[in-house]
Amino acid sequence: MAYNYPNYFYPQNFQQNIQPQNLQQNSVQNGFISVRNEEEARNYPVAPGNSITFMSETSPYVYTKTMGFNQLDRPSFKKYKLVEEANSMEISTQNEQVENLSPKNKNAEIGQIWSEIDNLKNEIKNMKNIRQRKNIRKEGEKDE
């Protein structure tokens, strides 16, 4: 004979009391919980003694919600705006590229390149002249 004792510790709808039915599954990525807006982050349940970080899907904000250890404490809610900063190395190289693209710098660099080309041409001519002189001397020595 089985006895049916009343359960004074757990109500019949125990599971429903623990999990609110209106919560949707939010994805967790890199420690952030993805939410649609600030209101959803504010309404998200946080266990006592825990902190959760949320990332908004629709705006450039990150939210943190922290609950104290006492269940009667109000949660602390902070809102942060995300601002992208460029890498300082990238900025300096971009500035150098912009400076190099100015017409004065272009003309100066092109002038230097052409002068180097002219110097190389002159060296090649001098080398050819030296070879020709050597060849002429060798031919002259053979005839004698």
Instruction: Quote the mean pLDDT of the chain.
Output: 77
Q: Which of 43, 86, 44, 35 is nearest to 62 (CA)?
A: 35
- Please report, rounded to a whole number, the percentage of residues in the chain having pLDDT higher than 70: 65
Instruction: Note the pLDDT of residue 98.
Output: 59
Looking at residue 129, its amino acid is N
Tell me the C-alpha distance between 61 and 54, whole Å: 9
How would you classify the pairing of strands 76-81 and 61-66?
A: antiparallel
43-58 per-position pLDDT tens digit: 999 999 999 999 999 9
Beta strands (DSSP E) in the chain are 28-29, 32-35, 51-56, 61-66, 76-81
Q: Which residues contact 134 (CB under 8 A, 6 or more apart)?
A: none
What per-residue confidence (pLDDT) applies to 31? 81
